[in-house]
Chain A
Amino acid sequence: MRHIISVLVENNFGVLSRVAGLFSGRGYNIESLSVGVTDDPKFSVMTIVTHGDDRIIEQIIKQLRKLINTIRVRDVTQMDHIEREMVLVKVHASPKYRAEIFGIVNTFRGKIVDLTTESMVIEITGTKDKNKAFLDVLEVYGIIEVVRTGSVAIARGSKATTDFTKQDLKH
């Protein structure tokens, strides 16, 4: 199953490689990993999207907690949460098709951030599924390049994602 793990870490150099190394060294798969500093510059949050059965996910969480620079680890998929990923896509857009593509971008609430006579760069945010649907539609026009950030996720409600206790979780 797909899981989104949110990891609050000390904002030291080397922490990212410890986390990434833990996954590679123990044979766990990373679908995406995104890192950014929090409102307190001493800490960063990593959002890791990974796959595995219950046993593997339990081990991933426990092994992450074992790292000295790790403050909190939460499986966000066990909470009501919001997930977003940003995608920048460059697509062929000759004048003939431009209007059509504008329409698609509007439908998906994307943003055109660059335009030439031959191409467009579109910014879109959303869940992985929504972004995939968008890219599928654009495919017919000829995609030149795609870059994506990987997912970030946050729990709904007034509590910080990393502050939820076991009892707060759905199951």
Chain B
Amino acid sequence: MSRTGAEALVECLKKQNVDIVFGYPGGVLLGIYDTLFDADILHVLPRHEQGGVHAADGYARATGKVGVCFGTSGPGATNLVTGIANAYMDSVPLVAFTGQVPTALIGGDAFQEADIIGITRPIVKHSYLVQNVDDLPRVINEAFYIASTGRPGPVVIDLPKDVVAGKTKTKCSGKIDLPGYNPTYEGHPLQIKKLLKELSEAKKPVIYAGGGVIISGATEELVKLSERIGLPVVNSFLGLGGFPSAHENYVGWLGMHGNFASNMAMTETDFILAIGTRFSDRSTGRLDGFAPNAKIAHIDIDPASISKIVDIDIPVVGDCKKVLKQMEEYLDKFNWEKNAESRKGWLKKIRAWNSERPFSYKKSDKVIKPQFVVEEICRLTDGEAIIATEVGQNQMWAGQFYKFKHPRQFISSGGLGTMGFGFPAAIGAKLGRPDKHVFDIAGDGSFLMNMQEICTAVQYRVGVKVAILNNKFLGMIRQWQHLFYNKRYSYSCLECQPDFVKLADAYGCVGLIAEKPSEVADVIAESLKIEDKPVLMDFRVDREENVYPMVPAGAALNEMIYGE
């Protein structure tokens, strides 16, 4: 049956089980929007394309499905760029449709024309400029496949106006034929046995688990392995939630603002089993001081992540969940008794580190400590909420003081560090998981970057809760200036900011404020009662609180500094 490119597009989205898209219309997208008007797909209109793409990203992280967003040609497309880069860095499955001027005008600097394929080339897993309407169904099919398989990532589909308006009979199904794209899912048995052999000989082994554990859904297998052999588990920042933080084998989170025990364990370990992590510089600290005595095995679906930063002794290319399952099969072939005592002692030492130096802060009954706000959110939501964060101190405190139980519970911009990400991502997450409380733990600076999305949340009755840890500073910038630039607070003070309660009121949602520690719990409890609209909570926190411990840039993991 012949239909327009726009009709074929919507049909293909339905075939991909897309039930929600985040998009902003524009001249060249009007054909698609006319079709979407009658489609059985929830279309969410953000107030800025960046909000739309972050919402799609948050939706994808919270649900594990592919996030979908639309932006028109030129400025619409370029407004998506930050969100696409963000998804690329954190391996989030995303399909971004961009409008393009008619094929006959491409290259002529037409109105609202931008070479979005060229602009996004370094930040996409793959991209398509569709030049013939008959290619459109195949391209969409391939795009969803590429975005969601292997190491997930964003795919851009650029749609010239005349292509969308053209007629096609091509079906939406069809075999995927990508001769150059064959992700490896099963690990090589020889490598796995080699890994287990080395692991069985280690006296102070550590599992270093990253976001790949969450993406592949390997939590259950990870817990099993850790329990069976008695292995401590250190998370990367994006790995938070991939291993239950209340588990007795849980060590904590590694890196610049990670905990003492994790950083020390990684420094002293003799064998690292890294699973689905890319050894980010924020995790490793100075490389020549990173795990100086350890052999390292690395399980990752992306071969290019192996030995990219740190030399790997035993590489295993494959899907984390599949490889962990394969490991289970071979487990009995190795002698785990031999070093069981050493491992027990090692775990004991790690636990001692943890009780000796847990994440902590100076409590106060006069001024609200930002860490206290996060602790209270954790307490009052029973550790079950989905937590999105902005970027900076708020992000680090969220990671330190919320105790995560489940995968896909923590949504944060790890790789790109995108300010303004948390709020729209929280909206996307709440739309994907309406059964959960969803918080954006925010700084005042980051929240101001995409606060126009309050409108979106109000319009679609999205009950997200924004906890602004308001210190009237770009807090992390101020912290670095405090520590490394002699307290010269160059342009990091946000002297002018809106009255957040009135702002909420102006947008037609709820604004709450807490100025004293005694008000914090009430404000959070009040927010939990409101489910049909966003709540802005303005927590006036200690202005010059720092995030500790901290591994200064260029220092090794065991060279942490602490506050006064």
Contacts from A to B (Cβ < 8 Å): 9-10, 14, 17-18, 21, 25, 55, 58-59, 62-63, 65-71
Say whether A14 contacts B180, CB under 8 Å: no
- Contact (Cβ within 8 A) A10 B179: yes
Query: Which chain B residue lies CB-closest to A20?
Result: B121
Over the window 115-131 of chain B, the binary record of Cβ atoms lying under 8 Å from chain A Cβ atoms (1 yes, 0 no) is 00110011001110100
Contact among B129, B178, B304 with A66 in the assembled complex (CB-CB below 8 Å): B304
State in angstroms the CA–CA spacing of A17 and B126 once bound together.
Answer: 13
Q: Which residues of B contact A18 (CB under 8 A)?
A: 121
Inter-chain contact B303/A68, CB cutoff 8 Å: no
- B residues less than 8 Å from A70 (CB atoms): 180
Q: Is the CB of B129 within 8 A of A21?
A: no
A68:B178 contact, CB within 8 angstroms: yes
Instruction: Give the nearest-CB partner of B126 in chain A.
Output: A68
Per the CB 8 Å criterion, the residue count for chain B at the interface is 19
Q: What CA separation (Å) do A63 and B268 show in the bound complex?
A: 32
In the complex where A65-B303, A68-B146 touch, is A25 in contact with B180 (Cβ < 8 A)? Answer: no
Checking B127, B180, B304 against A10 with a beta-carbon cut-off of 8 angstroms, the contacting residue is B180
Q: Is the beta-carbon distance between A67 and B307 smaller than 8 angstroms?
A: no
Residues of A within 8 A of B179 (CB): 10, 71
Please list 18 pairs of residues, one from A and one from B, whose beta carbons are closer than 8 Å in the complex, sorted by A's number. A10-B180, A14-B129, A17-B118, A25-B122, A55-B307, A58-B307, A59-B304, A62-B306, A63-B304, A65-B303, A65-B304, A66-B302, A66-B303, A68-B125, A68-B178, A68-B181, A69-B180, A70-B180
User: Distance (Å) between the CB of B214 and the closest chain A CB?
Assistant: 21
- Bound-state CA distance A69–B179 (Å) is 8
Tell me, in angstroms, the Cα distance from A71 to B306 when the chains sit together: 20
Name the residue among B122, B127, B304 with the largest chain A CB count within 10 angstroms. Answer: B304
CA distance A147 to B480 in the complex (A): 53
What residues on A are CB-neighbors of B178 within 8 Å?
Answer: 68
B151 (CB) vs chain A CBs: closest residue = A66
User: Which of B122, B302, B306 contacts A21, CB < 8 Å?
Assistant: B122
In the bound complex, how far is the Cα of B118 from the Cα of A17, in angstroms? 8
Q: Report if B362 contacts A (CB, 8 A).
A: no
Sorted nearest first, the 9 A-B pairs with minimum C-beta distance are A62-B304, A68-B126, A25-B122, A71-B180, A70-B180, A68-B181, A21-B121, A62-B303, A66-B304
B308 located at the interface, meaning its Cβ lies under 8 Å from any Cβ of chain A in the complex: yes
Which residues on A sit within 8 Å (CB–CB) of B121? 17-18, 21
Residue numbers in B under 8 Å from A10 (CB-CB): 179-180
Q: A62-B306, A68-B181 are in contact. List 18 more A-B contacts (CB 8 A).
A: A10-B179, A10-B180, A14-B127, A14-B129, A17-B121, A21-B121, A25-B122, A55-B307, A62-B303, A65-B304, A66-B303, A66-B304, A67-B180, A68-B126, A68-B146, A68-B178, A69-B180, A71-B180
Name the A residues within 8 Å of B303 (CB-CB): 62, 65-66
User: In the complex, what residue of chain A is closest to B118 when comparing beta carbons?
Assistant: A17
Q: How far is the CB of A102 from chain B (nearest CB, A)?
A: 47
Q: In the complex, A52 Cα to B506 Cα: how many Å?
A: 59
Q: Please report the C-alpha to C-alpha distance between residue A62 and residue B306 in the assembled complex, in whole angstroms.
A: 9
